Amino acid sequence: MKREEQSNKVRAKILEVSRRLFVNEGYEKATIRRIIDEAGITTGSLYHFFKNKEEILFAIASEVFTEAAEAAERLAEEPDSAVLFALEVGLQLHLIQKKKSIAETYLAAYRTQGVLEMIGQRGAARNAMLFGKYNPAFDHEEYLIRTHAFRGVFQALLEETLYIGTIDANRLMNTALYLGLTTFGVPKEDIEIALAKTKRILTEKAEEIETLTENLIHLFVKGRQASEE
């Protein structure tokens, strides 16, 4: 086996074991030592690819955020930016309400510097693309500020879901989507239309939503390549 192929195989194994441990036991309980032992590798092999557990989490989170965005585009019936945003956020909220350990992993990701930077920079670019027509005067920094502001809202809702769980899930999602669209300058009348469309899609495509959610859970456990096979 060529060295590069072997190297890719070891990295994939680290991520596969890490995903499984994060989902089954929670991010905090999944130690580097446990990942090394269950992957059947040396300490040096792991640190060749990742300097700490946060970097492993970053790699996993990046894949999940990408898949959520792609899933939203598959669900949407038209290229409506507000609906795309609502579906993407809605899928992630549905995912974290489905499995507590994934909510814990999401929350850990939102508290990790590398992931925060990725959410900020990539999110700002995506939000500029989605909402540029509403905000011609916004520059990258403005989108970055608003992306982090909504990330704070999402993190607070994660914590409520994980630690308290007293808010009705549908109401939580509806308010979260309204706040998100407001943050990015979408007019009230467009927000109401987008939320109505999103609600209809989520209702009419409930079975497909469940399949997508299971695929996202599978992505947490196995990874992007395995999910596509």
Range of the domain at 81: 53-228
pTM of the model: 0.80
User: Quick one: which of 112, 102, 184 has its CA closest to 146?
Assistant: 184
Backbone dihedral region of 223: left (phi > 0), alpha (psi from -120 to 50 degrees) or beta? left
In a domain, 32, yes or no: no
Structural contact between residues 129 and 69, judged by C-beta atoms closer than 8 angstroms: no
Flag whether 158 is in a domain: yes
Q: What are 11-26's pLDDT values in tens digits? A: 989 998 998 888 787 7
Q: How many domains does the chain have?
A: 1
Quick: pLDDT tens for 120-174: 999 999 999 999 999 999 999 999 999 999 999 999 988 988 888 888 988 999 9
| Higher pLDDT among residues 132 and 4, named by residue | 132
Q: 42 in a domain, yes or no?
A: no
Q: What is the largest CA-CA distance in the chain?
A: 59
Task: Give domain status of residue 37, yes or no.
Answer: no
With the CA atoms of 19, 20, 21 and 24 taken in that order, what torsion angle do they form, in degrees rounded to the nearest 10? 120
pLDDT at 29 over 90: no
Tokens of 6: 């072997």
Residue 164 within a domain = yes
Q: What is the pLDDT of residue 138?
A: 97
For 57-116, the pLDDT digits (tens) are 888 888 877 888 888 888 887 789 999 999 989 888 887 887 777 788 788 888 888 888
Residue 177 included in any domain: yes
Q: What is the pLDDT of residue 97?
A: 80
Residue 20 burial (CB count, 10 A): 16
DSSP-assigned letter for residue 171: H
Could you tell me if 109 and 57 are in contact, meaning their C-beta atoms sit under 8 angstroms apart?
Answer: yes
pLDDT of residue 220 exceeding 70: no
Domain membership of residue 31 (yes or no) is no
pLDDT (0 to 100) of residue 223: 56
CB 89 within 8 A of CB 97: no
- How high is the pLDDT of residue 46? 93
Q: Which pLDDT band holds residue 225 (cuts at 50, 70, 90)?
A: low
Binned at pLDDT 50, 70 and 90, residue 227 comes out as: very low
- Whether 116 is covered by a domain: the verdict is yes
In this prediction, residue 58 carries a pLDDT of 86
- Residues 188-213 have a mean pLDDT of 88
Gap between the Cα atoms of 146 and 144, Å rounded: 6
Selected residue with higher pLDDT from 66 and 39: 39
Specify the pLDDT at position 226. 47
